[in-house]
Structure 1
Amino acid sequence: MKEHLGTAIEACVAAGKEIMKIYLEEDFQVETKSDDSPLTIADRRANMIINTFLDPSGIPVISEENIQLAYEERKEWGECWIVDPLDGTKEFIKRNGEFTVNIALISNGQPQLGVVYAPALKLLYFAIVTEGKAYRHRISSEETDLTEILSYAEEIQPSQKENCIKVIGSRSHMNEETLRYIEDLKKTYGKEIEVVSKGSSLKFCLLAEGTAHIYPRFAPTMEWDTAAGHAICEAVGLSCKFKETGESITYNRENLKNGHFYVSYEE
């Protein structure tokens, strides 16, 4: 598992380096996909780089930018990588820095490890779920190697709800259902509620490092949007559950679109 973690970290950092080259250019070459979501040349190039790192593992890859195989074939996979080469493309286009590279390893539907890298912020988060720990490292140089990252990464931990409950809201997807949920939290806990806005999988990382307490996501997402962040949160004792069923999010499902979910400590 540690070997796979190292591969995922190196893939994220390499993809992030390429993304930043494009980020600093004037023309992102933005296109619109069939679902009206944006696509840039950065998504494509990052995906190609990540595939070169992951392909030698022999483990199949589900990526936002790969052609998706039929479930009849995928359901036979015991393991798979789930990748979003550029999560938060809207944040990338806005140039606010809140975009990430996400890589997770899934076994029998369950996240085993996750890596989230925000190249514009130089922040890397990673975890192996069974170790029960998650880490953060600030990449000081593009020449930083894996040994340095693993040696100097700091352990992170979530925080308990105290006088103020910090709820994470999306930069681009806040809606009425989420606002009602926040009002219900006020009534339930009788505490001040602060909304913390953040883009991409950084929302999961804020919970894992104790900057926020609850992340309700009542808008569409795909498996590659959540898998890596889910792994990081689960490693530190946070639950990621579907709102409708209360069951934990699983992966490599027949329908790769997630239902509404929330991330928090178990009450």
Structure 2
Amino acid sequence: MEFNIKEEELISLSRKAGEAILEVYNNVDLASEVDYKGDDSPLTHADKASHEVIMKGLKELYPNVPIISEEGAHIKYEDRKDYEYYWLVDPLDGTKEFINRNGQFTVNIALMHKNTPVAGFIYTPAHDSLYVGIKGKGAYKVEKGEKNELQVNNSTGNRIAVRSKSHASPEEDGVLKQYGVVNDISVGSSLKFCMVAEGKADIYYRHGPTMEWDTAAGQAVLESAGGKVLKGTGPEVFSYNKENLLNSSFLCLGF
């Protein structure tokens, strides 16, 4: 089956979801209303609004392609394990960044083929920046009306690590020392993948827990820019649509 990636329509959908998020973000009273899910992760009106926009848009564009979304209904493994193509969506990645009002939150939409990300769309509503990666076509960033191709650094030394703004762990230090890291930057959400993809960082190691929808779009962007994402510290590649959608630790390399 040949899949038609409607690139411009998916970019437009990412932006519409971002607009729905900003409507909440710019209403301080509404933005401050936070619920908590069963795993104690935060849920805002913006998560719900973005989810509704994306679900409606994807169903209109691709009525026969299943969707797994963080805010969607749980789909049994028996029903999803044989999906050939499906969407993996995080309507608002970086909810803690949203609550902290630092602007480092994103809309993540990934197209999966046989449990591998093949296209990723990451939109940062607060900064109006968009990252796109499509397997076989490359990756690019659109910001202030300018489109620039993305390519990893392929650095051989004096590397820069990007680390989580909300979830940094001491276990990261030992891994990063092995790769000649001399400095680090801190950023929230899937923007860490994007920092490696555009060469602002060389490595990102995540020890703590994430979910598959947190990483899929970022992996598509990074790999399309020439990087790689490994399970644990490698060499096994990172995989998706597991029975449990909780991710293991992973390592992103831009070299």
> In 2, distance between residues paired with 1:123 and 1:117?
6
Q: Normalized against structure 1, the TM-score is what?
A: 0.89
1:215: which partner in 2?
A: 204
> In 2, distance between residues paired with 1:18 and 1:162?
42
Show structure 1 runs of 5+ residues with no match.
Answer: 141-151
Tell whether 2:45 aligns with 1:41. Answer: yes
1:147: which partner in 2?
A: none
SS of the equivalent of 2:122 reads strand
Mapped contact 1:201–1:225 kept (Cα < 8 A): yes
Tell whether 2:198 aligns with 1:196. Answer: no
Give the residue type in structure 1 aligned to 2:78. Answer: E
Residue among 239, 246, 254 paired with 2:243: 254
Q: CA deviation at 1:76?
A: 2.2
Give the residue type in structure 2 aligned to 1:252. Answer: N
Tell whether 2:242 aligns with 1:242. Answer: no
Give the residue type in structure 2 aligned to 1:4. Answer: K
> In 2, distance between residues paired with 1:184 and 1:159?
18
Q: CA deviation at 1:7?
A: 3.1
1:263: which partner in 2?
A: 252
Q: Report which of the two has the higher share of helix.
A: 1
Percent identical among aligned pairs is 41
Residue among 141, 154, 162 paired with 1:160: 154
Tell whether 2:140 aligns with 1:135. Answer: yes
Listed as ranges, the matches of 1:91-130 within 5 Å are 91-130=97-136
1:17: which partner in 2?
A: 19
1:182: which partner in 2?
A: 176
Show structure 2 runs of 5+ residues with no match.
Answer: none
Q: CA deviation at 1:4?
A: 3.1
> In 1, distance between residues paired with 2:154 and 2:11?
29
> In 1, distance between residues paired with 2:144 and 2:186?
23
SS of the equivalent of 1:13 reads helix
Mapped contact 2:155–2:254 kept (Cα < 8 A): no
Residue among 83, 91, 115 paired with 2:89: 83
Give the residue type in structure 2 aligned to 1:220. Answer: P
1:145: which partner in 2?
A: none
Mapped contact 2:233–2:251 kept (Cα < 8 A): no
> In 2, distance between residues paired with 1:111 and 1:205?
15
Mapped contact 1:5–1:113 kept (Cα < 8 A): no
Tell which deviates more after alignment, 152-161 or 77-86.
152-161
Tell which deviates more after alignment, 222-231 or 23-32.
23-32
> In 2, distance between residues paired with 1:2 and 1:156?
22
Seen in structure 2, the aligned counterparts of structure 1 residues 200 and 74 have a Cα distance that, compared at 3 Å, is: same
SS of the equivalent of 1:124 reads strand
CA displacement, residues 52-99 of structure 1 (integer Å, 9 cap, x when unaligned): 110120210000000121010001211100000000000000000000
Mapped contact 1:11–1:53 kept (Cα < 8 A): yes
Tell which deviates more after alignment, 8-17 or 239-248.
239-248
Give the residue type in structure 1 aligned to 2:140. Answer: Y
Q: CA deviation at 1:214?
A: 0.3
Q: CA deviation at 1:126?
A: 0.2
Residue among 48, 54, 68 paired with 1:50: 54
Q: CA deviation at 1:154?
A: 1.6
Tell whether 2:167 aligns with 1:173. Answer: yes
Give the residue type in structure 2 aligned to 1:107. Answer: H
Listed as ranges, the matches of 1:215-234 within 5 Å are 215-234=204-223
Give the residue type in structure 2 aligned to 1:136. Answer: K
Q: Normalized against structure 2, the TM-score is what?
A: 0.93
